[in-house]
Amino acid sequence: MRRPSKDSTQKLSAESQRLAALSQAMGQAGSRIEERGFEQHLDSHLHKLLKSHHQDTIDATLNNLFATDLNAYDVLMDAVEAVSEAVHIAAEDEGGAGYNALLIAAPILAWTRFSISSGAIPADVLSTLNTHLAAHLLADDTQLALSPNLFSIDQLPRSHAETYALTHKLAQAAHKGVPLKPTAKPLETAPFLADTRYLLAVVVAPVGAPLFRWQAPGSMTTFAADRASALLAWQAQATPTIARLLPGCGVELLLPEAYYVACREADKAIRPVSIRAAVHYLTHTLNIEASELRAVIGGFGEEPSGDGQIDEYRIGFTVRQSNDVIYGIVWPLYGQEDEDGTPAEGLVPALLGERKTPVDEILALLQEAGVTQVKRHSERFPSEFCDDCGAPLFVDPTAELVHAEMPEDAPAGDTHFH
């Protein structure tokens, strides 16, 4: 299940109660017609709240539903994401159907021993990326507005209301063909060995027309193959251009698609890259072999050890003959994931085949990277952070929570954690 804010005890306002009631009604609808009727009312209410920046009302409702009605929680979460990443543009001529606009993200996985750039995109690079998006991913007769900024995670919209505002801004630019200016002073972003960068854009098409090439009528029976071909073409054509924006970095381009889906896929995809980047950094910085490292894995959550939920795994690295944690990375759990690899609700596990747990995946990646000595703690630890610098604390081989510190004689370099 999705993970909300922890405080779900506050009393709901009248607006929040209405949101909750509509979400519950939609989740319990007995027919598609009934469901769509409730959906229209829910979407209309969300539009008003997002336009007026009442994010707190939406958050309070989500927190309450997470504690009381998971089905309604999922309905509301899906609805608020859909409303904030899409917009309908009315037709200028009376009686016209108008246009649909969708915010999309093109995630870029990047890794380096140096720094990963973000910020303004030069005009010639922006033009090239526009061309590749239109040629390989977007349906014919669509309009596109590509933001002239390369975004880090810290620079993405921080709420559904901010996403809604960005979607509308880019949608108008796409529909009217208005050029966009880069953000004058983007927020600073923390440096990591492996991180994600994003291209954000809005694509506009007439109501009923496809947005992406794999939506075209001729692709109905070859949907998966056409998506895969589009990704390969995007990677082949756009990677050299992206490499110009990220000098000194290894990069991998993921499929550009609807904003929230693309961001979630990128969150998952960066985790294996973080492990490989950490091992590469440590072996080269300390001039040792991967087999001389030890990994220490601990499960962490808001609640202390016991029956509390694990929200993330933290992987600390030590030299094999020492208990000192010299580096660490965080492996968060997303969506339907938990420590046992539980499948999505409603799916029969037998139909899915054998599923790897997150720890199984971590162990396989460490072994692939050459780290053969691994200590896994069975107890769950509280999600604690350093009071001075805010860095996550990692568990050492003796089950103590410690700050990860590179040896004093190690060459200076990036010591942030993903």
The yes-or-no verdict on residue 222 having pLDDT over 70 is yes
Report which listed range, 90-94, 188-192, 355-359, is most confident. 355-359
Q: How far is CA 14 from CA 19, 21, 51, 61, 172, in A?
A: 9, 11, 18, 10, 33
Tokens 């046992």 belong to: 340
Split at pLDDT 50, 70, 90, the class of 290 is very high
- Could you give the percent of the chain with pLDDT greater than 70? 89
Alpha helices in 184-287 (DSSP H): 223-245, 259-286
Average pLDDT over residues 384-396: 89
- Distance from C-alpha of 77 to C-alpha of 85, rounded to nearest angstrom: 12
The yes-or-no verdict on residue 352 having pLDDT over 50 is no
Per the DSSP assignment, residues forming a β-bridge with 206 are: 99
- Distance from C-alpha of 115 to C-alpha of 191, rounded to nearest angstrom: 6
Average pLDDT over residues 293-320: 86
Residue 80 Cα to chain centre, angstroms: 16
The yes-or-no verdict on residue 333 having pLDDT over 50 is yes
Split at pLDDT 50, 70, 90, the class of 351 is very low
How many other CB atoms are found less than 10 A from the CB of residue 133?
22
In order, the DSSP letters of 24-35 are HHHHT-SSHHHH
pLDDT at position 288 is 94
The yes-or-no verdict on residue 414 having pLDDT over 70 is no
pLDDT digits (tens, 9 = 90+) for 62-116: 999 999 999 999 999 999 999 999 999 998 776 678 999 999 999 999 999 888 9
Split at pLDDT 50, 70, 90, the class of 326 is very high
Average pLDDT of the chain?
A: 89
Residue 370 Cα to chain centre, angstroms: 28
- Distance from C-alpha of 380 to C-alpha of 271, rounded to nearest angstrom: 20
Split at pLDDT 50, 70, 90, the class of 346 is very low
pTM recorded for the entire structure: 0.87
Query: Which residues 6+ apart lie within 8 Å of 170 measured at CB?
Result: 101, 103, 145, 147, 180, 200, 201, 202
350 vs 4 pLDDT, higher one: 4
Tokens read off for 221 = 């029976």
- Distance from C-alpha of 386 to C-alpha of 26, rounded to nearest angstrom: 44
pLDDT at position 304 is 52
Tokens 């990036």 belong to: 414
Q: Which of 132-136, 214-218, 342-346, 399-403 has the lowest mean pLDDT?
A: 342-346
As to burial, measured by CB atoms within 10 angstroms (0-12 exposed, 13-18 middle, 19+ buried), residue 355 is: exposed
Tokens 């997303």 belong to: 334
Tokens 């009923």 belong to: 208
The yes-or-no verdict on residue 369 having pLDDT over 80 is yes
pLDDT digits (tens, 9 = 90+) for 148-178: 999 999 999 999 999 999 999 999 999 998 8
Tokens 């600073």 belong to: 188
Domain boundaries, the chain: 14-83, 88-265, 288-402
pLDDT at position 353 is 52
Report which listed range, 8-17, 33-42, 87-96, 383-392, is most confident. 33-42
Average pLDDT over residues 31-41: 96
Split at pLDDT 50, 70, 90, the class of 319 is very high
268 vs 388 pLDDT, higher one: 268
182 vs 109 pLDDT, higher one: 109
Q: Which of 99-108, 213-222, 248-257 has the lowest mean pLDDT?
A: 213-222
Split at pLDDT 50, 70, 90, the class of 342 is low
- Distance from C-alpha of 415 to C-alpha of 403, rounded to nearest angstrom: 11
Average pLDDT over residues 362-378: 95
pLDDT at position 191 is 78
State which H helix or E strand residue 86 sits in.
strand 86-89
- Distance from C-alpha of 104 to C-alpha of 110, rounded to nearest angstrom: 19
pLDDT at position 338 is 62
Average pLDDT over residues 363-384: 94
